[in-house]
Every structure is written in C-alpha cells, then in structure tokens.
Structure 1
Amino acid sequence: FILMLMYLTATSSNTNYDFIYGGQDGAIANLIAIPLGIFTMYLLFQLQRRHPEKTLFEYAEAILGTWLG
C-alpha cells in the first residue's frame, strides 16, 4: 500500500504538463485523483485481507458469482 501511495503521489504531482497547459485545473485534477487512487488501493487491500489465499480473479468470482466474476 505504501509503495502504491508513493507511486500515485509521485506520478500525479511530478507531471509539469498539467500545470503548464492546464494551470489551476491540472492541480485540481491531481487533488481529485490522489484520494480516488488511495480509496481504490484501500478497497483492494480490504478484499485481499478477506480472501488471503485467492487472487484478484478468484475472489471476484466468489463475490460476483461465476458468470460475472
């Protein structure tokens, strides 16, 4: 989780093109994207804690059913 958090913050804040071409909108987009990425990682972490012996595809099948999973 910590490695993914560092990756998200580094890639979202080090892209100068956001600030050059987007100005303030680029900064706002980064501020929105970082919490969404952290929330996604939190969900994946909680699913892995509940299904420790399964992969992502195996517990997707267990949660959503055979057809959707």
Structure 2
Amino acid sequence: MKSNMGGLDRILRIIIAIVIGFLYYNGTISGTLGIVLLVFAGVFVLTSFVSFCPLYTLFGINTCKKN
C-alpha cells in the first residue's frame, strides 16, 4: 500500500470524525443516520492513520506530496 493522502487531508478527516462522534454523543444525531455516520467516522480515522484511501486509488487522486 502506497500512501496517497497528504497531511491536510488526514487532519481534516480526523476533525470530521471527532465532530461526528461529538454530535452522536450529545444526541444531536441518532438512529440509523447516527450509526452510518459513526461507521464513516471510523473509516475516516482508519484511513487517516494508514495514510491510504482506496477510493483515491480508484479515482486516481493523490494528495500526498511524497513520490
């Protein structure tokens, strides 16, 4: 797996995941939508830690500055 995510992309994904988790914890989002968003938040955190997004590979996107 070759890195295809840059630093800003990774930070934004983690911030979005934190916001989703906070909104779910407060009860602002709940039910099926809340569970689906929590799954997306988990995927965001996972892809941020490994610096690889499979969808970026499919669409030919590379935000990583390394070659």
TM-score (norm 1): 0.44
* Structure exhibiting the larger radius of gyration computed from Cα positions: 1
Q: Which has the higher contact order (CA 8 A, sep 6+)?
A: 2
TM-score (norm 2): 0.45
Q: Which protein is richer in helix relative to its size? A: 1
